Amino acid sequence: MFIERIELRYVQIPLKSHFETSFGRAFGRDTIVTTVWADGVEGWGETPVEDGPWYCPETVETAWHVQRDFLIPMLLGQRFETAAEVFGRMALVRGHAMAKCGLEQALWDVEARQRGLSVAALLGGTRPRIESGVSVGIQDTVDELLALIEGYLAQGYRRVKIKIKPGWDVDVVRAVRARWPTIPLMVDANSAYTLADADRLAELDEFDLMMIEQPLAYDDIYEHSLLQPRLRTPICLDESIHTPAHARAALELGSCRIINIKPGRVGGLSQARAIHDLCRARGVPVWCGGLLEVGVGRAHNVAIASLPGYTLPGDVSASDRYFERDVIVQPIALNADGTIDVPAGPGIGVAVDHPFLDRLTVRRETFASA
Ligand code: OSB
Ligand code: MG
């Protein structure tokens, strides 16, 4: 693959309704959609940043800067045998996983299209459908939360994740469990607690949760290893895991029993696959998280979630979970049984809705090889 041209688009898309986590309430999504042309074939990727450094330190502006000034010059005019090499060729840049992800994903799409395969097949995916779960934000009232969950269950979603924070935790989970005693249920704290809250978190043990996601600091691995033995509920790490080395450290220390792998957080699909492989070799379940991706990143999430070690339903939901209209022609849809089909290809298997994407694009820059 000879890289001829790369385009970045700053895209702003409204959300159907607000999404609230322990770090704030979002009403829209700011993201970067990336296109790469190689050997005349185009590929698409997403850099799933946000407008501010809330979930991770990267933002639209930092990712744009790092892509324009450092990563794109490493790729333009270069040749690659396979997309699996791309992450390594960007190694001189430390961190900036999301900026790397958008570019790397686009090359997986190019390579898959060139080979006439789906990205899922190229990655080694084995499932024709993935099990879909839904992440439900913090609401103003428990009644609003229950009504939302009822709607998602009626659509078929196979597991429910609720966001928690101090003051919106044990009583809320108790109310959800009282209504649905057996649904697959989990919580995500997005780092809202400290080790001093261990007894409070242990109160969640009685609700038979699948896991509690990222209870402690976003950059911690060690303290989670002190918390896990005090809980019966498995800990799942999200924010703390950026590399296979972090995953290994967390598993060796006993900091978690499950890992949420998001391609954006770890630098793309090859790194996501490497963490998957490491966990699978140890019998540790993983699932695919999300960052409210538009159709492009969502399709890549569907592809990676088809790997055999993604044994738990993830946060990869249908396009209409977040968007009135997605940037792809055929939105990603939920089957009545709560699964999502893995497109058979070629590439990511979804077509960009160009006129609509153009309307949402607030900035655009193209880079061509000399
Ligand atoms: O922690 O998993 C998270 C959304 C934004 C930032 C962080 C998280 C989330 C979600 C939603 O939980 C995932 C999704 O539906 O895409
Ligand atoms: Mg999370």
Residue 240 beta carbon below 6 angstroms from any ligand 1 atom? no
The CATH number for 121-341, chosen from 3.40.50.2300, 3.40.50.300, 1.20.1250.20, 3.20.20.120, is: 3.20.20.120
Q: Which ligand is nearest to the CA of 291?
A: 1
pLDDT in tens, 299-356: 999 999 999 999 999 999 999 999 999 999 999 999 999 999 999 989 999 999 999 9
Residues of the chain with pLDDT > 70, as a percent, come to 100
Is 150 a residue whose pLDDT tops 80?
yes
pLDDT of residue 345: 83
pLDDT in tens, 99-126: 999 999 999 999 999 999 999 999 999 9
pLDDT in tens, 251-294: 999 999 999 999 999 999 999 999 999 999 999 999 999 999 99
**Beta strands at 41-47 and 24-38: parallel, antiparallel or unpaired:** antiparallel
Measured in angstroms, how far is the CA atom of residue 315 from the centroid of ligand 1?
A: 7
Looking from the CA of residue 188, the nearest atom of ligand 1 is 1
pLDDT of residue 73: 97
Taking alpha carbons only, the member of 254, 262, 242, 368 closest to residue 310 is: 262
Mean pLDDT calculated for residue range 139-162: 98
Q: Is the peptide bond before 346 cis (omega within 30 degrees of 0)?
A: yes
Residue 239 beta carbon below 6 angstroms from any ligand 1 atom? no
Q: Which ligand is nearest to the CA of 235?
A: 2
Residue 55 beta carbon below 6 angstroms from any ligand 1 atom? yes
What are 370's two structure tokens?
A: 């000399």
pLDDT of residue 130: 98
- Give the C-alpha separation, 286 to 29, whole Å: 26
Full-prediction pTM beyond 0.95? yes
Residue 190 beta carbon below 6 angstroms from any ligand 1 atom? yes
pLDDT of residue 224: 98
pLDDT in tens, 35-67: 999 999 999 999 999 999 999 999 999 999 999
pLDDT of residue 24: 86
User: What mean pLDDT is reported for the chain?
Assistant: 97
What is the CA angle 242-246-252, rounded to 5? 155
Q: Which ligand is nearest to the CA of 162?
A: 1
Measured in angstroms, how far is the CA atom of residue 238 from the centroid of ligand 2?
A: 5
Strand partners, 34: 8, 45
Is 13 a residue whose pLDDT tops 80?
yes
Measured in angstroms, how far is the CA atom of residue 288 from the centroid of ligand 1?
A: 10
- CATH 3.20.20.120 location in the chain: 121-341
Residue 291 beta carbon below 6 angstroms from any ligand 1 atom? yes
For 3-116+350-368, give the CATH class.
Answer: alpha beta
Please, which pLDDT band fits residue 370 given cuts at 50, 70 and 90? confident
pLDDT in tens, 236-249: 999 999 999 999 99
pLDDT of residue 143: 98
- CATH 3.30.390.10 location in the chain: 3-116+350-368
Measured in angstroms, how far is the CA atom of residue 11 from the centroid of ligand 1?
A: 18
pLDDT of residue 353: 98
